[in-house]
Amino acid sequence: MKPFSLLLTLAAGISLASGQEKPNIVFVITDDQGYGDLAHNGHPYVKTPAIDKLHSEGVALDDYHVAPTCSPTRCGLLTGHWTNRTGVWHTVNGRSMLRENEITIATLLKENGYTSGLFGKWHLGDNYPYRPEDRGFDEVYRHGGGGVGQTPDLWNNNYFDGHYFHNGEVVSAEGFCTDVFFDQGIKFIKEKAAEKKPFLAFIATNAPHTPLHCPQEYLDMYSDQPLDKAAYYGMVTNIDDNVARTRKVIEELGIADNTIFIFTTDNGTVGGADVYNAGMRGQKGSPYEGGHRVPFIIHWPAGKLTEQKSVKTLTGFVDIVPTLLELTGSTKIPADLKFDGKSIKELLYKGDDADWEERYLITDSQRVRDPIKWRDSSVMSQKWRLINGTELYDITADPGQENDVAAAHPEQVQAMRQFYEDWWAELEPTFSQTTEIYLGHPEAPVVTLTGHDWIQEELPPWNQGHIRHDEATKDGKHEGHWAVKVIETGIYTLEMRRWPKEADTAITAGLAAEPNVPGADKAFSAREGDAFPFTTATIRMDGKDIETKPVSEGDTNITFTAELTKGSHQLAPVFTTADGKEVGAYYLIVSPAE
């Protein structure tokens, strides 16, 4: 077995056939859609004809693994590095921001003549230097946080007729969010095709993540199903229709031949495990196969990837960046950049007949403030899965992971445990490198901090339903903080809010519910907003109360002016009730004082 990191430095000289132009890349990734949530993989109800067609015309990685949750998958997918190496091992709590030293595929492709656009879900940071526009993407059209209606997203977004961030500016949109994100991706594709420049269009839907909403026509397609299933399947079929629409545009533009088209998902199913899970155990968040084995299909006519092929050799999300760099002939990369994955080009062309060296891969689901050794982990080889360091499964003979054979194969358990021990020993020193939000940087002088990124042991208020109706006062003490990095010592304005600025609502006032939208769930915006009887607001930094002001009826914000010194700080402003109960400010806007 090779050393655990399986490091790869791409050497200069890797190229496509002589004279061949660099291919375009259209990369579609969906949210919380499992391997079994596709008709061609055996689902008895869901309709996915366009993705089925893509599958019949391309190479499918059928033992392909990601992280069991979304942000951790996205960081590994975009950097080629283990999730825990990048600082992203959670989806909230300040642990979903991609460390600034990480280099994304967008940055690497830019150095090789590409323009990149991201459309839809990012979920690797909403503030500088963690936004997609800070990480190599030239065109960005996205929602905030990890889904439409989450706390960093624009207020009252609910899948229909929303507002989104377009290159840092707020814009309005008409229609269902998935349609809007594909619309923007298609617009970008048309522009780049006209310019005859190679591009990466990264279209990342927040569907079919909960809450479950879709246009009524898609609900009606599944009227014979329970409402939650109808909405889930409808969201999937809507994605499928958009895949068909995008491929048609590429054909009409005359660029289909030299476009790499990829479809994949970010983790195991949420809405489909109880109906069909392709024989796997577990779902999103699980260390078992159902949590992290997902579909991956690639089609590229000019590259001769047009015939249906199933690759059953073990592969993982950390392999994708080095693979795309090799397929595109992108040789201009930093000399010291190494990947935790390896190019799987040979597998794409030769399939399971390739001369492929046995290796181990690791995935885990931390979802805690700081990583815990062995937590929800899977060490994988072609034949074996070691779960949580103790359970061993022969995945070839027992794909449902029903029979733990650890006692019968102690030497295999020991080998896989040693691999994990070495992996952990290398990564553990990086865990203390907290991702800090920059204050006072000229690229982002005005910063909005939200409760989504509170660093604390408990889950923070990560969606707008929590903001509207939260039990944050139950313990009486706010334990969370934002990790910030002040770029220059100076006088700053700190604007504390209970409601976001666009809500324009008094701190102590409640908020009416908005009308619901089609689907199985109540939209976050369709919930009433609670009134909190706050009497004071306090700026707390590094564990010390700096200043307190009264909260009066009608105040929409309480603004402080304070000197912030250059360097790292823990910022934790709080509202307090008359009986001394604290609630962290859900929103804080920081900017240099004029």
Count of Cβ atoms closer than 10 Å to residue 169 Cβ: 7
According to DSSP H, which parts of 293-338 are helical? 320-327
Which of 43, 55, 70, 75 is catalytic? The answer is 70
Q: 70-79 and 320-327 are packed helices; what angle lies between their axes, rounded to 10 degrees? A: 40
* Bridge partners, 485 (sequence order): 438, 568
The tally of CA atoms less than 13 A away on the side-chain side of residue 186 is 18
**CA angle (339 as vertex; 338, 340 as ends), nearest 5:** 135
Q: Tell me phi and psi for residue 306, to 5 degrees.
A: -130, -5
Write the DSSP symbol of residue 446: S
Q: Of 302, 259, 294, which Cα lies nearest the Cα of 77?
A: 294
Count of Cβ atoms closer than 10 Å to residue 482 Cβ: 26
**Where are the extended beta strands (E) located within 103-254?**
115-120, 139-142, 163-166, 169-172, 199-204
**In the annotation, is 478 catalytic?**
no
Write the DSSP symbol of residue 570: E
Q: Of 380, 386, 377, which Cα lies nearest the Cα of 409?
A: 386
Distance CA 553, CA 376 (A): 48
Structure tokens at 488: 């220059």
**In the annotation, is 123 catalytic?**
yes
Neighbour order of strands in the sheet with 587-592:
447-450, 587-592, 490-497, 558-564
Length of the chain in terms of residues written: 594
Distance CA 532, CA 529 (A): 10
The residue type found at 210 is T
Which of 43, 55, 90, 123 is catalytic? The answer is 123
Q: Are strands 259-265 and 384-387 parallel, antiparallel or unpaired?
A: unpaired
**Which positions are annotated as active-site residues?**
70, 123
